[in-house]
Amino acid sequence: MADVTLTIDGKKVVVPKGATIHDAAQAAGVFIPTFCHDPELSKPGACRICVVEVPGMRNLPASCVTEAAEGMVVHTSSPAVIEARKTILELLLENHPNDCLTCAKSGECLLQDYAYLYGVRFGAFGGERHRYPVEEENNFIIRDMNKCILCGKCVRACAERQARHIIDFTCRGFNTKVATAMDQPLTDSDCIFCGSCVAVCPTGALLEKAMLGKGRRWEIGKVRTTCPFCGVGCNFDLNVKDGKVIGVTANPDSPVNGRDLCVKGRFGIDYVHSPDRLTTPLIKKDGRFVEADWDEALDLVAQKLGEVKAAFGPDAVAALSSARCTNEENYLLQKFMRAVIGTNNIDHCART
Amino acid sequence: MAGLATSFGSGAMTNSFADIERTDLLFIIGSNATEAHPVAGAMMLRAVEKGTRLVVVDPRRTYLAERADYWLPLKPGTDIPLLNGLMHIIIKEDLYDKKFVAERTEGFAELKATVENYPPEKVAEMTGVPAADLYAVARLYAGAPEALICYTLGITEHVCGVYNVMSIANLAMLTGHIGRDGSGVNPLRGQNNVQGACDMGALPNVFSGYQAVTDPGARAGFEKAWGVRLPDKAGLMIPDMFEAALAGKIRAMYIMGEDPVLTDPDANHVRHALESLDFLVVQEIFMSETARIADVVLPGATFAEKDGTFTNSERRVQRVRKAVEPVGRSRPDWRIICDLAQRMGYAMDYAWPGDIFAETASLTPIYAGINYQRIDVCGIQWPCPSCDHPGTCVLHADRFTRGKGLFKGIDHVPPAEMPDDQYPYLLSTGRIYYHYNVTTRQSAALNAHRPEEMAMLNPADAAGLCVCTGDRVRVTSRRGTLVTRVEVTDRVPAGMIWMSFHYWESPTNVLTVNAFDPISKTGEYKVAAVKLEKVS
């Protein structure tokens, strides 16, 4: 494909034909804010926060949907552009709860970031605000439509990534709202709580319920790992605070799944800190389990396995390994059975 | 695994998940991907919305079935006649890939002779699928430029599981739909590390990398590396272990991270076998049904508390990273095994799992080129024979692992137990979206959302039993009995009750049949005969 050359804020940049001004700006290392744009989703060009100035064009075009053209000159932060962005932010804040002090998304909220960047405050117009009830009756997702800026990424993620089409825009104008059919709660819809909508939400409108109150966003450490549920092998980030896993967020670099996850991977990892976890070795004495220390338990196991091996031969011992455990552990258990016990009696249930 | 290993020479997904969105036709048989492999299911739905044709073969009207071009609701256990019927049409109508069959396969004459006996009208009667749909699907599959078959436990959890898989392999080879981006045969692995546990040699007949324990060359390599003499006879598979335990031949068992009492078929039989052992040690993260009958329970660590790797269905080896310390006094399972080996006089000195992986890679040709540095950002798909090899997205591209693909003529094998006058309903089992085999019951959110079994029952049967959604029924087979709530839905056909196996309160596997595929020894979880009574 042919290339086009354009100039963005005085920098020359070459991009393939068909690339947008926003793509070109990214290639040139020039920042342009976006709300509704997402590289994995279709491009509605709806929020207008990404407008730029292109001399010769009648209006300020939205850079995310305007194709870069040969010889084009682009200004991404001219006074007209800044004024337009500020007005957009003022209008958004006008109908947004002044809740950053307690909002769980604070620190990872694009609206907050851009308001800070452009110095925009609440209350420029004194206009009307929504008073929607917050939807929190399901176990996974909190929906606060008062904080929704109608970027539509959740609608597109549900339709284009999950192909479920559970939510869409309803009503018109100021009353426009993202809702399920007949504006019913998610629990009464066909929603499967995959949380793809939460993953793309730029504000606090959609939140992981389990993470609420567990830590501010900037306090959370992220450790990328592989999901322990089915065989698809999704990657995600474990969110860690104070030595505890408090939740899961998607990692766009995941090779198999990108930001897609299912309800179990995104919302079901809390079993790690379940109070039902086994936390100490147990030895059965007179039909009841008694807590033991590791030395006592391991000595007993070694002694018993050794006794059976000595009395009945190595093939009187068998082991089941686990499709839940790591490769390293499966390797070690078969090595243990073969090299230490001396039998090939090792299997696991997921052989098929 | 045994089925594909026979037909192709290796038992793994031939393609990558990304191929789901690169194919022209998805042929989904015995797989409820939107529930059991949700992210792969979403890929399938995306593909369909972009124009990929979809064929779903399943007795239940699954979500995918509803969105399919063709849904073939076969009678449970009739996969072989259905596949033979499709091949019959493809051969009769001369739609098969003669060049591929001639150059890449052997045994075609045998296949042709067998499928000759499966004309569409007969197959329609055997399977319950209309002949017109068989013709349409046969032509669609044979004519698609690229076609991807995906299957899961709906295929393998039958007494003829291996033959089912080989029949699928026959269909793919007949049409040359294998070995390319978007064409192949893909078992979607049920658990996170099924592929890895097999790859690592947690099997009675092979070391890591499918090197046979009976092969003196392979054994010599491991003997040298491990510094011991190794047994040369294959060990026992799980059902045989339980029989040997009952016969007093196996006296001690070490079970790491499995709960056979809840998850293996005919649970009462399994419990009895384990109770007859002299010594049982269970290494677990929760007090499982199996752990309850152990002599010693060792607390292992979850995936979030240890380093390591999992190998997913598409053979991609990916990192698992420790995020937090193990709770209480629990320890990573690898550490426990090392400690035990030391106590039994065999040194296992590994500083961390990276050292174990390096040893594995040095002894496992298909993993030889993989190390933690290379998979730090993006996993690698085996076979990866050397450090400069990029890994393998599509298997069998130019030749099959075994050389030529092997056609086998396969005849119908009926399920071990079918409904009769005494036990008139067919029980089939599987997984639901909100739960996984284990651990999800300990997730507060997931358990609150789906706290109990909701067995699926057809409205016609529900009317006969005078039950509504939420009512309770007693389900009884020749082996056990339980009580469950029902969901009345026409997603299941009349005469069938469908249950998941997630709930210890209604442990479905006390009902399932103690019958196994003779080759893979996989239990027939998908078909058992039961009777139903309303519980007031």
Using DSSP, state whether A271 is helix, strand or coil: helix
Element (H, E) at B216: helix B216-226
**Considering CB atoms only, which of A273, A317, A336 is closest to B327?**
A273
Supply the pLDDT for residue B504: 84
Query: Which of B193-202, B272-281, B514-523 shows the lowest mean pLDDT across its residues?
Result: B514-523
Supply the pLDDT for residue B440: 86
Q: Taking a C-beta distance cutoff of 8 angstroms, is the pair B204, B234 a contact? A: yes
Quick one: average pLDDT of B335-349?
97
**Considering CB atoms only, which of B245, B299, B444 is closest to A270?**
B444
Model confidence band, residue B514 (pLDDT cutoffs 50, 70, 90): confident
Q: Taking a C-beta distance cutoff of 8 angstroms, is the pair B173, B83 a contact? A: no
Own/partner contacts of B418-423, CB < 8 Å, gap of 24 or more, are B418/B77, B418/B527, B418/B529, B419/B495, B419/B529, B419/B530, B420/B529, B422/B529, B422/B531, B423/B476, B423/B477, B423/B478, B423/B529, B423/B530, B423/B531
Q: Taking a C-beta distance cutoff of 8 angstroms, is the pair A316, A308 a contact? A: yes
Q: In the A/B pair of chains, how many CB contacts fall below 8 A?
A: 474
Q: What is the DSSP string of B417-437?
A: ----SSS-EEEEEE--TT--S
Contacts of A273 in chain B (CB under 8 A): 327
d(CA B488, CA A325): 37
Return the percentage of chain B with pLDDT > 70, whole number.
100
Q: What is the dotted CATH code of the domain comprising B425-535?
A: 2.40.40.20
Nearest CA to A193 among A167, A228, A220, A223? A167
Quick one: average pLDDT of B421-429?
95
Quick one: average pLDDT of B330-339?
97
Question: Which superfamily does B2-188 belong to?
Answer: Dimethylsulfoxide Reductase, domain 2 (3.40.228.10)
| Mutation for A interface: B16, B189, B192, most A CBs within 10 A | B192
pLDDT digits (tens, 9 = 90+) for A47-66: 999 999 999 999 999 999 99
Q: Is the pLDDT of residue B307 over 80?
A: yes
- Taking an 8 Å cut-off on Cβ atoms, the answer to whether B291 and A278 are in contact is yes
At the topology level of CATH, where does A3-77 sit? Answer: Ubiquitin-like (UB roll) (3.10.20)
Contacts of B348 in chain A (CB under 8 A): 332, 335-336
**Considering CB atoms only, which of A292, A317, A333 is closest to B252?**
A317
Contacts of B309 in chain A (CB under 8 A): 226, 326-328
In chain B, the residue whose alpha carbon lies closest to the alpha carbon of A255 is B378
Contacts of B231 in chain A (CB under 8 A): 314-315, 338, 342-344
Contacts of B18 in chain A (CB under 8 A): 256
DSSP lists the bridge partners of residue A168 as A179
- Taking an 8 Å cut-off on Cβ atoms, the answer to whether B39 and A316 are in contact is no
| Rounded-to-5 percentages of helix, strand, coil across chain B | 35, 20, 45
Model confidence band, residue B56 (pLDDT cutoffs 50, 70, 90): very high
- Taking an 8 Å cut-off on Cβ atoms, the answer to whether A256 and B303 are in contact is no
pLDDT digits (tens, 9 = 90+) for B231-264: 999 999 999 999 999 999 999 999 999 999 888 8
In chain B, the residue whose alpha carbon lies closest to the alpha carbon of A272 is B302
DSSP state of A161: I
d(CA B213, CA B196): 18
State the Cα angle at A216 between A212 and A221, rounded to 5°: 105
In chain A, the residue whose alpha carbon lies closest to the alpha carbon of B522 is A352
The residues, any chain, with a CB within 8 Å of residue A169's CB and separated by 6 or more, are: A150, A152, A155, A176, A177, A178
Q: Which of the following CATH numbers is that of domain B194-381: 3.30.420.40, 3.30.450.90, 3.40.50.300, 3.40.50.740?
A: 3.40.50.740
Contacts of A261 in chain B (CB under 8 A): 39
A119: left (phi over 0), alpha (psi -120 to 50) or beta: left
Q: Is the pLDDT of residue B54 over 60?
A: yes
Supply the pLDDT for residue B520: 83
Supply the pLDDT for residue B264: 81
| Mutation for B interface: A192, A225, A304, A328, most B CBs within 10 A | A328
Give alpha helix (H) positions in B344-389: 353-363
DSSP lists the bridge partners of residue B151 as B29, B187
Which architecture, in CATH terms, is A217-276?
Single Sheet (2.20)
Supply the pLDDT for residue B90: 98
DSSP lists the bridge partners of residue A178 as A169
- Taking an 8 Å cut-off on Cβ atoms, the answer to whether A305 and B257 are in contact is no
**Considering CB atoms only, which of B304, B433, B521 is closest to A272?**
B304
Q: Is the pLDDT of residue B154 over 90?
A: no
- Taking an 8 Å cut-off on Cβ atoms, the answer to whether B333 and A257 are in contact is no
**Considering CB atoms only, which of B207, B231, B236 is closest to A318?**
B236
Supply the pLDDT for residue A1: 65
Tokens found for residue A207: 């939140």
Supply the pLDDT for residue A352: 55
ipTM for the predicted complex comes to: 0.94
Tokens found for residue B16: 């990558």
Supply the pLDDT for residue B454: 94
Kindly give the confidence (pLDDT) of every residue in chain A, 352 residues in length, as a single tens digit, with 9 standing for 90 and above. 689 999 999 999 999 999 999 999 999 999 999 999 999 999 999 999 999 999 999 999 999 999 999 999 999 999 999 999 999 999 999 999 999 999 999 999 999 999 999 999 998 888 899 999 999 999 999 999 999 999 999 999 999 999 999 999 999 999 999 999 999 999 999 999 999 999 999 999 999 999 999 999 999 999 999 999 999 999 999 999 999 999 999 999 999 999 999 999 999 999 999 999 999 999 999 999 999 999 999 999 999 999 999 999 999 999 999 999 999 999 999 999 999 999 999 999 876 5
Burial class (CB within 10 angstroms; exposed 0-12, middle 13-18, buried 19+) of A287? exposed
Element (H, E) at B66: helix B63-66
Query: B227 CA to chain A: closest CA distance, Å?
Result: 8
Model confidence band, residue B521 (pLDDT cutoffs 50, 70, 90): confident
Quick one: average pLDDT of B271-286?
96
pLDDT digits (tens, 9 = 90+) for B91-116: 999 999 999 999 999 999 999 999 99
**Domain spans, chain A:** 3-77, 217-276, 282-347
Element (H, E) at B252: strand B252-256
In chain B, the residue whose alpha carbon lies closest to the alpha carbon of A280 is B329
Q: Is the pLDDT of residue B195 over 70?
A: yes
In chain B, the residue whose alpha carbon lies closest to the alpha carbon of A345 is B235
- Taking an 8 Å cut-off on Cβ atoms, the answer to whether A231 and B190 are in contact is yes
- Taking an 8 Å cut-off on Cβ atoms, the answer to whether B330 and A277 are in contact is yes
Contacts of B375 in chain A (CB under 8 A): none
Supply the pLDDT for residue A229: 93
**Domain spans, chain B:** 2-188, 194-381, 425-535
Model confidence band, residue B163 (pLDDT cutoffs 50, 70, 90): very high
pLDDT digits (tens, 9 = 90+) for B388-398: 999 999 999 99
Q: What is the DSSP string of B445-514?
A: HHHHHS-S-EEEE-HHHHHHHT--TT-EEEEE-SS-EEEEEEEE-TTS-TTEEEEES--TTS-GGGTS--
Cis amide bond preceding B383, omega within 30? yes
| One-letter identity of residue B404 | K
Q: Locate the DSSP E strands across B52-161.
A: 53-57, 70-72, 105-106, 147-151
Supply the pLDDT for residue B517: 87
Query: A343 CA to chain B: closest CA distance, Å?
Result: 6
Neighbours of B373 (CB within 10 A): 9
